Amino acid sequence: MCGIVGIISKNRIATSTIKSMNDSIRHRGPDDEGYLFGGPHENDVSLPKYNVMECPVSLAFGHRRLAIVDLSPLGHQPMCYHDHYWIVYNGEIYNYTELREELEGLGYTFRSQTDTEVVLASYDAWGTECLSRFNGMWAFVFYDAAERQLFISRDRFGIKPLYYYQDSENFIFASEIKALFKHPIVTREPNIDYCKMYLKEQPRENLRETAFRDIYRFDNACFLECNIEDLFHPFREIKFWNVKPNLSNEPYSEEKGQIYARQYYDLLNDAVRLRLKADVKVGSALSGGLDSSSVVYLINQQMKLREKEEMQETFSSVYKTVGTEYCDESSFIDTVATALRVKSNQIEPKQEDIINEHRKFVYYLDTPVANTVMSSWHTYKLTRACGVTVTLDGQGADEQLAGYLEYLEYYFRNVPLSTLVQEFHRYRHTPGARGSIVRGSLLNIARHLIGENATLSLVRSIGKNASFKPLNQVLCEDLELSLETLFHLADRGSMAFSIESRMPFMDYRLVEFLAAIPAAYKVHDGWTKYIARKTFENLLPGRVCWRRDKMGWPIPEEFWFKGELKDHFLSTICSSEFLPRCGVNLLKAKEMDLFSSYSFAYLLKCYVLETWHSVFFETI
């Protein structure tokens, strides 16, 4: 895991500019830094380590290294291969040892034990087809000096970030937006249209546009291969991967269910095995839910196979203060820790620290998100304090296994009418699910009474949107549209503390498998995530495996901002000069009436947006 920056320009590049960009993301890689220059450049500051090559235009690459695999200097970047390939790379290819063996069979040799060198050799051997062989997360920029070509790519799910600024004379890229602003030609302006969309909907880290004007995001599951001078013109990335969902209405079969459960276990177990490859200390985030507990269980199994005697360490945010218990999952965390015999490290965010800690995270996030994300922030903070550099986390399972309660609405929209009443009674005891079940059932009945088109027209007439998309299609759309926002939080929260977060549920083999099995194995017999529960029912404590409540790393923000932090919260919103530019009109409401006039979720987004604006435009 690392950070990358770069400049490709028709103009001379100052060494001070690329160093300033690189320094701004030091947290992503505190172990080493390196530079590469091509074409005209100005040595206005000295650099610790750099290389120079021939290039038809000015080029500067910078790299910050977080050493995970092969901690020796042989992992230094920018890395050269065969005297003409150069790469700056952020991420991990988990199956690099298997690829290395295959490449050695083709006659390739290697100097280091790094996955970076395997990435370079893979491109030399297979060209852009190498991407389909990679199992991992990545964002890299690759220059072939012999052909004067660039090769840029991001992983299938957008776990690793890559942003850029482009004009007719410059292409500037970085792992984080803040680094781009260190270049003198890149201006810092808010993207008002994006900010309005954020307030109306949700943050969208999958979009090309960002919260900053003229700053763009390279698309996930894509690559660009082009002549270096083509980067001064608009381009279109090429998609190298997509997932195809099973849209059948196949009913549940107990025999098939057992087969799928075995396959699910084997795939997830191998995903964990691959993601344990590291030459540094590894731990895991534990929320007390099924997904993170499954990962912790499988890590334990792998440690036994490797005959490791030390206890696995887990990290959790808990809420035991009076008034915050509604967000506390420590009971479930303790149950898992005791059953699996792991060392449970826990932290409770302090109310008096929230304002400053949130502002810190806003800086590392670069873009506004839907809430304060204090549970995630403090979990990674604790992880760093315990000396762990790599964590295996549970993100991505709910979007593939229909874990969120809102997915039940799509399920009930498409349930056969003959079984609707029976299904209703099976799911009615699920906490918080009644609204989703009732809405889905009513739409289902209406479709059979007045037809699908008339039902959808009726819904639109009251200002709502709906569809009768199959559940698996909705899950795959969320995989493409929503998950990248969660990965953004994980990347920035972990990297702020120089930690690499790895996600076994995002192993592309597991993703393809789950998309291919019918929805009946995900929502069945009154349960969400059914196939996952059946898989681990005899391996994890029953109160964890068969939990009905879904909390999802909750944060007691209402307790904080309606309590002792209320004055700060309300004054931040009401005194903002930026929010009105984004369409927020709170002039008619008195400060103390805001909570009764607007939803807390909307006010929280207003607070986050104003804090973001303050951090990036008022304190620089």
User: Looking at residue 30, what is its pLDDT?
Assistant: 96
Cβ–Cβ < 8 Å for 364, 496:
yes
Please tell me the pTM assigned to this model.
0.95
Cβ–Cβ < 8 Å for 3, 175:
yes
Give me the phi and psi of 147, to 5 degrees please.
Answer: -95, -5
Give me the phi and psi of 120, to 5 degrees please.
Answer: -65, -45
- The per-residue pLDDT for range 253-262, each reduced to its tens digit, is 999 999 999 9
Strand 50-53 versus strand 32-38 pairing type: parallel
CA separation for the pair 203, 501 (Å, rounded): 21
Locate tokens 């030399």: which residue?
124
CA separation for the pair 324, 320 (Å, rounded): 6
Around Cβ 134, how many Cβ atoms within 10 Å? Answer: 25
Alpha-carbon separation of residue 424 from 405, 430, 442 (angstroms): 14, 11, 11
Q: String of b and e for 514-547 (b: at least 16 CB within 10 Å)? A: bbebbbbbbbbeebbbbbbbbbbeebbbeebbeb
Cβ–Cβ < 8 Å for 294, 268:
yes
Q: Which of 131, 148, 145 is nearest to 91 (CA)?
A: 131
CA separation for the pair 48, 585 (Å, rounded): 51
Domains for the chain: give ranges and CATH numbers.
2-239 (3.60.20.10), 562-618 (no CATH)
CA separation for the pair 331, 328 (Å, rounded): 8
Ranges of residues in the chain with a pLDDT under 50 are none
> In 3-state terms, what secondary structure has residue 592?
helix
Give me the phi and psi of 313, to 5 degrees please.
Answer: -110, 135
CA separation for the pair 406, 474 (Å, rounded): 11
**447 contacts: CB under 8 Å, gap ≥ 6:** 413, 455, 468
User: Looking at residue 551, what is its pLDDT?
Assistant: 74
User: Looking at residue 587, what is its pLDDT?
Assistant: 65
User: What tokens were used for 155?
Assistant: 């992983």
User: Looking at residue 310, what is its pLDDT?
Assistant: 82
Cβ–Cβ < 8 Å for 257, 531:
yes
User: Looking at residue 591, what is its pLDDT?
Assistant: 64
User: What tokens were used for 312?
Assistant: 């696995």
Q: What is the distance of C-alpha 107 from the center of its chain?
A: 37
User: Looking at residue 354, what is its pLDDT?
Assistant: 98
Strand 2-9 versus strand 32-38 pairing type: unpaired
Around Cβ 168, how many Cβ atoms within 10 Å? Answer: 7
User: Looking at residue 478, what is its pLDDT?
Assistant: 92
